[in-house]
Amino acid sequence: MALTQTTLNIRGTFCIETIPKPASFIIFGASGDLTHRKLIPSLFFLYQKALLSEHFYIHGCARTQMDDEKFRASFFDKLKESLGKSSDTKASGNTVKSFLNRCFYIAGDYNSENLYINIKNRLVELDKKFQKEKNHIFYLATPPSLYIPIVQHLGKSGLSDTPPNAGAFRRPHGERGRTCIIVEKPFGRDLESARKLDSELKKVSKEEQIYRIDHYLGKETVQNILLFRFANSIFEPIWNRRYIDNIQITVAELLGVEHRAGYFEQAGLLRDMFQNHMLQMLSLVAMEPPISFDANRVRDEKVKLLRAITPIQPHEIRDRVIRAQYGKGTIEGREVPAYRDEKGVAPDSTVETYVAMKLSIDNWRWQGVPFYLRAGKRLAKKSSKIVITFKNVPHSMFQPLRPEDLEPNILIFHVQPEEGISLRILAKRPGPKLCMDTLEMVFRYSDVIEGELPDAYERLLLDCMLGDQTLFIRNDDMEVSWSLITPIAEVFEDKSKASLAGTLHIYPAGSWGPVATEELLQKDGRSWVRI
């Protein structure tokens, strides 16, 4: 079977299935958490679903000393388990083994030239054996402080070189030697550092070769926003200020800072969640229709939307942005410590673990429609949702009920944990009397799809192998989002600007955040929709 061919299958619905060209993944940070939890399992599932070219291989690099066998062994049990208890043990063991036989490892110091010389020699060997096309995808999954040194070494060693015509993967047959670099978030910690990283990347590769990842873009429901809005005719006419009252985006997590205090103390929740996931979801929900489903046309519209967001000025932060930190509390019946008592966190840390803000979009479609965004750790439940509240009916024929007494229609994109879409409408309750009730029409992926939905990384890694950048962040997008977030982050951490930043609220772990968040909406005569 020619696995490298692109196939288009139309089965009742329009369905594009593609098998990428041969490629190898060279993962920096291969002994780390991301590689173990996401990258290798996602590549394995692609392999298992026959969505990887048969000519792939994976090459890990990290500081930890180990050989190929030990590297493989570190994944074996988890991958086998992921195939499910019901599957034939011998067969699943063989599938895992044949996948892991394509995995290799080299240990070394990221700052030493030797590591890159060794990698280069190893890739020559492996390319000969597995893929003569020499398509290499470098994945930066190390701590972010290592990104620039690694990129510089990729350039110096010639590893990032590409033949003059091999810019993108989606190329006529015969072209070879494409390289690209996937950069895990965080992409910088402010506008300046993001630009610096970008300029180093641009010294060794072109924009078409740089894949800035935001895993939220690979989530099923997030991708579905585009289809929902632009593949159906009934929503677009009402997707504007005439019909929509407000939009709320929530990412609530149960987890605390876990073992990432070192990173989180430097980042804080605003940088960690808003510059990327929150603004990405906002841009998909609010952007204008792109003229085609082409990476750059979609990304043009996202950037245009981000540019239309009215930047929050320092003197407006107190009124429009709420920052808070979790105190001790109870999560799922278990006592959990306050953020300041977590391992690696300074006892007097003022780093925020929760942010809520009100944004406005200064364009024709959204003038006057508030966008309320909130995200936080150690909240009452894990729940990420985009909630669109429509305006009240203009007139009520159901006297004595007034228009404002009738609950508005609410459309919810359920991003996680239960992916789907729901619509709240008012309807008659069956019976002899005229009673009105809120009815929820619910679509759940779990009702129509057997088994678990693919992890966001599966989609994104596949897209990278296909050379499709639609779900990756372009440089201008990254710059606009940082320019919106950086001034707020700077006020948050500059002690001399404490009066501009407002109070750092403390909320009990396991709650819905500080009361001030309710007030942010109450001032506008609104409230958070219960999710």
Q: How far is the CB of 42 from ligand BG6 (least distance, A)?
A: 13
Q: For this structure, is 173 an active site residue?
A: no
In contact, 529 and 398? CB cutoff 8 Å: no
Q: What's the CA gap between 65 and 101, in Å, rounded?
A: 19
Give the nearest residue (CB) to ligand BG6. 272
Residue from 127, 200, 253, 479 that binds ligand BG6 (CB under 6 A)? 253
Site for ligand BG6 in 332-351 (CB under 6 A): none
- One DSSP character per residue, 439-492 reads EEEEEEHHHHSSSPPPPHHHHHHHHHHHT--TTSB-HHHHHHHHHHHHHHHHHH
437: which strand partners?
427
Which H or E run includes 357? strand 354-359
CB of 185 to ligand BG6, least distance (A): 6
The helix (run of H) or strand (run of E) holding residue 79 is helix 68-82
Distance CA 410, CA 529 (A): 9
Min dist CB 250 to ligand BG6, Å, is 11
Nearer to ligand BG6, 115 or 183 (CB): 183
| Phi, psi of 371, deg, nearest 5 | -110, 120
Interface with ligand BG6 (CB under 6 A), residue from 127, 245, 272, 419 = 272
Instruction: Report, in Å, the least distance between residue 472 CB and ligand BG6.
Output: 15
CA distance 218 to 213: 9
Angle (deg, nearest 10), helices 113-129 and 147-157: 60
184 binds ligand BG6 (CB under 6 A): no
Residues 465-482 as b/e (b if ≥16 CB within 10 A, e otherwise) read: bbbbbbbbbbbbbbbbbb
- Evaluate whether 78 touches 41 at the Cβ level (below 8 Å): yes
Rounded to a whole number of angstroms, the minimum distance from the CB of residue 414 to ligand BG6 is: 13
Of the candidates 55, 136, 277, 414, the residue annotated as catalytic is 277
Binding mask 350-389 for ligand BG6 (x = CB under 6 A): ----------------------------------x-----
Rounded to the nearest whole angstrom, what is the least distance from the CB of residue 384 to ligand BG6 in the complex?
6
Angle between helix 40-48 and 68-82 (nearest 10): 60
Active site residue ranges: 277
Residues that bind ligand BG6 (CB under 6 A): 185, 253, 272, 384
